[in-house]
Structure 1
């Protein structure tokens, strides 16, 4: 990562001269200014903003990195985070990784140049490092939200994904369904893997197992979920019940039923995890597990503020990572029907 010292060395000037050019705080001769400008371009140096705040070791900025801003679930996260950050005296800077690890790495590089005081991250890269530092080498607290990707080395606020998958599946099994299919999220993510594990555990506890053909990844995307659900429902051995591991994928599944002229729950029962705006108006009302999104975001920002304060007071202090796990709530709708009377 290029620093102001690297630019100064390449230009053959002092760091004070580089700072004067970048921030326009003092006169610099045209010759020296040209050398500094050329070095900045050559090294692709992104100067730190908010210099006055940085001298005090703070920018009052919180970076929120979500994995898919097109997903209405994360719109709720952004709104809750903006309110919580403001209450703690911070401004929020929002980034979208679009579920791409390369985007996440680029965004984290950009965040370094902004010198944000902390980061609330919905991770997509399984290789995420536990420690994050800005361009000046200062520790930047990072709290993972919704998922974990660094083996517990940084703080996290998540939902019990295994419990979410198990709750839905147990309900479907209680209704008499044994051919239960699922549209999962990416299995390298704790959300995708955990919800599938919950389904498997619930079925195994009753001596059952899902068919391989009834487990398909929808990548937490409505269009992908539509495609794989259509293949599954068109197959000779159709599941009698289908668990979509996110609300946005459930919308894709419901579109499949509409396009095929099938009825829910008469032809197939549908349930999901997560809620998105407007899903309560869906007919039939969707059976689902819900996240306490606002409570989760508030807890994430509280932990982040605590870490920011700690770093300012004692940068060398290293407390164990905190992991807060919220429990999902099963909301019963009209989208599942019994195959037999229990």
Structure 2
């Protein structure tokens, strides 16, 4: 395999001149440049990308740490991020914290040893202090995606979670529903807390309260949502409508509805937040508030590359995207629904 010294010898120039031509880092006369490029072609010389990046002090690697790779929502984030970082000339390393703070800490320690140029992180804990500096004590360029933490100094790209919960709830209230239930995400993360806060705010604005017996945590997981939805819907006086805080949990809720012999929206109306691949094929079509996910991902990568080039953010930037309401067929006016009763609660009783 040819080396830079072989190219220099064949072109009859110094290795510094070869490096200047390959990296376009200094002026080289057209004659010398042509000789170097001819030698590169003749010798089929391929410069070491790792060596070039080491010299520049960069790895050209961006780490993406998602909260749950089994969740199709985060699979879409990975898909969008791969295209976005490639457009900036970077490669993507993907890690999965599985919604576990201790796993997140191990991943971020690994990210530091790999000398990644920056990190896009979906945080699962309540602090990211363990991420702030690389082994040399320099701040690691970081963008938090989708969620925030109270003590963090990183740029953030989020959705207005309060608006997402409020919009979905207001739609149900406009249909006449007053006895609402909800399947929340984990309330220690801002997505779970914010969407519940939006629901509560919408109900307060109508003089209503959300009864604690109608609140369940589905942990942003399909099976957990299925289990808690069954327990919620098997109550003698079940809610007439549910707000489900994620698309993946909505799949579990819809399974529970079917297994209990209930009809959506004939017996129970359902609205959710976010979308996942295949959810458009559900029948009835789900009413939901959606993220502009590709735009969010592109913005996160743009902010991170800006940090990398600056050597860190000039000041903390928090970009908040607005969700949009997509009306499907999963909600009906309360007057059109069957009256809840123990006998209509299906085989689970």
Shorter chain as denominator, the TM-score bin is: 0.7 to 0.9
The answer to whether the 8 Å contact 1:179/1:241 transfers is: yes
Q: What residue is the counterpart of 1:321 in the other structure?
A: 316
Q: How far does residue 256 in structure 1 lie from its aligned partner after superposition?
A: 0.3
The answer to whether the 8 Å contact 2:127/2:152 transfers is: no
Q: What residue is the counterpart of 1:27 in the other structure?
A: none
Q: How far does residue 152 in structure 1 lie from its aligned partner after superposition?
A: 4.9
TM-score by length of 1: 0.82
The answer to whether the 8 Å contact 1:152/1:321 transfers is: no
Instruction: List runs of 5+ in structure 2 lacking aligned partners.
Output: 1-48, 337-349
Q: Distance in 2 between matches of 1:210 and 1:60?
A: 49
Q: How far does residue 139 in structure 1 lie from its aligned partner after superposition?
A: 2.2
| SS at 1:249 equivalent | helix
Alignment of 1:117-266 (within 5 A): 117-129=117-129, 132-266=132-266
Q: How far does residue 51 in structure 1 lie from its aligned partner after superposition?
A: 6.0
Q: How far does residue 54 in structure 1 lie from its aligned partner after superposition?
A: 3.1
Q: Which moved more, 1:77-86 or 1:147-156?
A: 147-156
Q: How far does residue 237 in structure 1 lie from its aligned partner after superposition?
A: 2.0
The answer to whether the 8 Å contact 2:63/2:111 transfers is: yes
Over 3 Å counting, the alpha-carbon distance change for 1:101 and 1:51 in structure 2 is farther
Over 3 Å counting, the alpha-carbon distance change for 1:130 and 1:332 in structure 2 is farther
Name which one, 1 or 2, has greater alpha-carbon Rg: 2
Deviations 1:251-308 (A, max 9, x none): 0000001111111000000110010001001000000000000000000000000000
Q: What residue is the counterpart of 2:22 in the other structure?
A: none
| SS at 1:330 equivalent | strand
Q: How far does residue 53 in structure 1 lie from its aligned partner after superposition?
A: 2.2
Q: What residue is the counterpart of 2:98 in the other structure?
A: 98
Q: What residue is the counterpart of 1:338 in the other structure?
A: 333
Instruction: List runs of 5+ in structure 1 lacking aligned partners.
Output: 1-48
Alignment of 1:54-133 (within 5 A): 54-129=54-129, 132-133=132-133
Q: What residue is the counterpart of 2:6 in the other structure?
A: none
TM-score by length of 2: 0.80
Q: Distance in 2 between matches of 1:150 and 1:220?
A: 21
Q: Distance in 1 between matches of 2:144 and 2:284?
A: 34
